[in-house]
Amino acid sequence: IGGHGEPVSRERFLDVVWGYTAFPTTRTVDNHIASLRSKIEKDPETPRWIKTVHG
């Protein structure tokens, strides 16, 4: 989706992963990211691999 260490917008994530051109809801991405974190992170509350960048 992006380069290593590069942030990816919700819109880009939706477009690449599901092919969405419209932006249905931010919760769709949030829920999938939370699910991925719970599977790959030792401590999902302090993620190492998938981080949220605000702004």
- pLDDT tens-place string over residues 3-52: 788 888 888 888 888 777 665 666 888 888 899 999 999 999 999 998 88
pLDDT of residue 41: 94
12 CB-near residues (< 8 Å, 6+ apart)? 1, 2
pLDDT of residue 23: 59
Kindly list the structural domains of the chain, giving each domain's residue range(s) and its CATH number in brackets, ordered by start: 1-46 (1.10.10.10)
9 with 26: CB under 8 angstroms? no
pLDDT of residue 17: 82
| DSSP one-letter code for 21 | S
Q: How far apart are CA 40 and CA 55, in angstroms?
A: 25
pLDDT of residue 55: 77
pLDDT of residue 43: 94
pLDDT of residue 35: 94
Task: Tabulate helix, strand, coil % of the chain (nearest 5).
Answer: 45, 0, 55
